[in-house]
Structure 1
Amino acid sequence: MELRVETTGKVLEITLCRGEAGNALTAGMTEGIAAAVSAPPPEVTVILLRAEGADFCTGRAPVMPPKDARLTANDLRVKISDPVLAFYEALRSAPVPVVARVQGRAAGVGCALAALADVAVAERAAVFSVPEMNHDIAPTLVMDALVDRVPRAVLARLVLTRQAVSAAEAQAMGLVGVVAEDLDAAVAGVVEGLSANSPAVVRAVKAFLKRAPEASGATRRELAALLNAAATAERFR
Structure 2
Amino acid sequence: MQDGAEADREGEESILYACSDGLARITLNRPEKMNSLTAPMRAALAEALDRGAAEARAILLTGAGRGFCAGQDLGDASDFENLDLDRTLREEYEPLLTRITEAPVPVICAVNGVAAGAGANIALAADIVIAARSARFIEAFARIGLIPDAGGTYWLPRLVGKARAMGMCLLAEPVTAAQAAEWGLIWDVVEDDALEARAEALGRRLAEGPTLALRLAKQALLASAANDLETQLGLEARLQGEAGRSRDFMEGVTAFLEKRAPRFEGR
User: TM range, normalised to the smaller chain?
Assistant: 0.7 to 0.9
Matched, 1:34 2:46: yes
1:6 to 6, 10, 18: 18
C-alpha separation in 2, matches of 1:38 and 1:29: 14
Give the TM-score, by structure 2 length: 0.77
The aligned residue for residue 181 of structure 2 is 171
* Greater share of residues in helix: 2
* 2:220 corresponding residue in structure 1: 208
Amino acid at match of 1:139: P
User: Equivalent residues in 2 for 1:185-204 (5 A)?
Assistant: 185-204=197-216
1:51-66, aligned counterparts within 5 Å?
Answer: 51-62=63-74, 65-66=80-81
Pick aligned residue for 1:106 from 104, 115, 118: 115
Asked if 1 retains the 8 angstrom alpha-carbon contact of 2:19 and 2:25, the reply is yes
Q: Distance in 2 between matches of 1:194 and 1:22?
A: 28
Q: Which residue of 2 aligns with 1:151?
A: 161
- Tell me the CA shift for residue 130 of structure 1: 1.1
* Structure 2 partner of 1:117: 126
Q: 8 Å contact 2:67–2:115 — kept in the other structure?
A: yes
Equivalent position SS for 1:60:
coil
CA distance in 1, matches of 2:123, 2:150: 15
Give the structure, 1 or 2, with the largest relative contact order (CA under 8 Å, sep 6 or more): 1
Once the 2 structures are TM-superposed, how far is the Cα of residue 116 of structure 1 from its aligned partner? 0.8
Higher Rg of the two aligned structures = 2
Q: Contact 2:53 / 2:105 at 8 angstroms: preserved in 1?
A: no
Q: In 1, are the aligned partners of 2:118 and 2:149 still within 8 Å (CA)?
A: no
Q: Which amino acid in the other structure matches residue 128 of structure 1?
A: F
Provide the C-alpha distance between the structure 2 equivalents of 1:43 and 1:122, rounded to a whole number of angstroms.
26
Q: When the two structures are superposed, what TM-score results if normalisation uses the length of structure 1?
A: 0.86
Q: 1:81/1:234 Cα in 2 relative to 1: closer, same or farther (>3 Å)?
A: closer
- Quote the offset at 1:39 in angstroms: 6.0
8 Å Cα contact 1:114-1:175 kept in structure 2? no
Letter in 2 for 1:121: I
- Aligned counterpart, 1:184: 196
d(CA) in 1 for partners of 2:37 and 2:154? 16
- The alignment partner of 1:149 has SS state of helix
Check 1:198–1:80 CA distance in 2 against 1; reply closer, same or farther (3 A cut). closer
Q: Distance in 1 between matches of 2:69 and 2:125?
A: 13
Unaligned runs of 5+ in 2: 1-12, 251-266
Alpha-carbon distance between aligned partners in 2 of 1:141 and 1:234, rounded to the nearest angstrom:
35
Percent identity for Structure 1 against Structure 2: 29
Give the drift of 1:82: 4.5
Q: CA deviation at 1:96?
A: 1.6
Alpha-carbon spacing, 1:126–1:41, altered in 2? closer, same or farther (3 Å): closer
